[in-house]
Amino acid sequence: MIYKASHHPLIYPFFRLYTRWKISRNFHGVIIKGDHHEKNLPVLLITNHISWWDGFWAEYLNMKIFHRKFYFMMQEDQLKKHMFFNRTGGYSVKKGSRSIIETLNYTSWLLADSKNLVLVFPQGKIESIHNQNLKFKKGIEYILRKVKSPVQIIFLVNLIEYFAEAKPGLIMHFKEYSGSDYSVEVLQKYFNIFYSCCVAENIRISASL
């Protein structure tokens, strides 16, 4: 059995306010770069997993751009330690157990509702921000093949830059994946191309300062 997500009527609004406050307090600014065309579809947000911050950043982007109910996977042992997140859209995944299929099926079920946004880290672990060659797990392909209705797939790359500031700045690059091939190899390929383009753009920004 997995821990399924809920959105507590008091805890979830507090979490959203806390997300805004936490980011404003720890970053000197946030830049969001990307074009969004509202399609009234569920959103699958695929992002690089570089830190403890990733879930907060994804919810921040959701509040600014997508305006959907936020869901995200968490390792079961971590979710048990921080059950607060279970009331804010977090649900469990346990690697190496039979319940992982239940988690993937649950994710597909969430993506049948156009009011939902589901955050996934297809590499399955935290990796260096400098790694632009991420290796995706097969779970992302399984999820998408189980979904019977259209889904808007969004790539998100979060990058940190200090420039001349004491606090880091957050630059969030996002882009819709418009392909029809949901194989893990193709998704991985196009995400990594986008990642490299985002890093190159950040370098151009820094060179102009």
Average pLDDT, the chain: 94
What domains sit in the chain, N to C, each tagged with a CATH number?
11-207 (3.40.1130.10)
CA distances from 44 to 80, 86, 129, 155 (A): 24, 19, 21, 9
Confidence (pTM): 0.95
The widest CA-to-CA distance across the chain, in whole angstroms, is: 52
Over residues 134-163, mean pLDDT: 94
Confidence of residue 84 (pLDDT cuts 50, 70, 90): very high
Indicate the SS3 state at residue 151. coil
Q: Is the pLDDT of residue 208 over 80?
A: no
Q: Which residues contact 176 (CB under 8 A, 6 or more apart)?
A: 36, 37, 152, 153, 154, 155
Confidence of residue 207 (pLDDT cuts 50, 70, 90): low
Over residues 70-76, mean pLDDT: 94
Q: What does the pLDDT read at residue 95?
A: 82
Over residues 105-119, mean pLDDT: 97
Place of tokens 């630059």: 171
d(CA 44, CA 101): 18
d(CA 94, CA 63): 28
